[in-house]
Chain A
Amino acid sequence: MGKWWSALFGIVMLACLGMFMVAPFVPTWWLPEGVSTHSGQVDALFYIILYITGFFFVLTEALLVYFMYKYAGQPGTTPRPTEPAAQGGFYAMLHRWFPDAHRVEVAWTIVPALILLFIAFAQVPTWLEIKDRSRKPAIGGEKTPIQCHVSARQFEWRVRYPSSQRLRNWQTFTTNEKTIADFKSFASFDGAKPRHPHLDDVPVVNEVHTWKGQTILVQLNTIDVIHSFNVPHMRVKQDALPGRTIPVWFTPTKANTRYNEETKRWEDAFNFTTGKPDMGYRWEIACAELCGWGHHRMIGRIYVHENKADFYRWLEHVEQSQAPPTKPQQKVAAR
Chain B
Amino acid sequence: MSNVTTEDVQAAGGSTVMVPRPPAAAAHRIGSFVDSRLTGLVLKRTATAIVLLMVVSVLSFVLISLTPGDEARAIVGLGGTHEQYLHVRAELGLDKSPPEQYWQWLTRAVHGNFGETLTTSEPVTSSIQTRLGVTISLTVGSMILSFVLGVLFGVISAVRGGVTGRLLDALGVLGFAVPSFWLAAVLITIFAVKLGWLPSTGYVSPSVSLGQWLQSLVLPVLALSIGGIAAIAKQARDGMLEALASEHIRAARASGVSPTSIIFRHALRGAALRVIAVTGWIAISLLGGAVFVESVFAIPGLGSLAVTAATQHDIPLIQGVVVCFTVIVVIVNLSTDVLYIWLDPRVRVA
Tell me whether A and B are bound partners: no
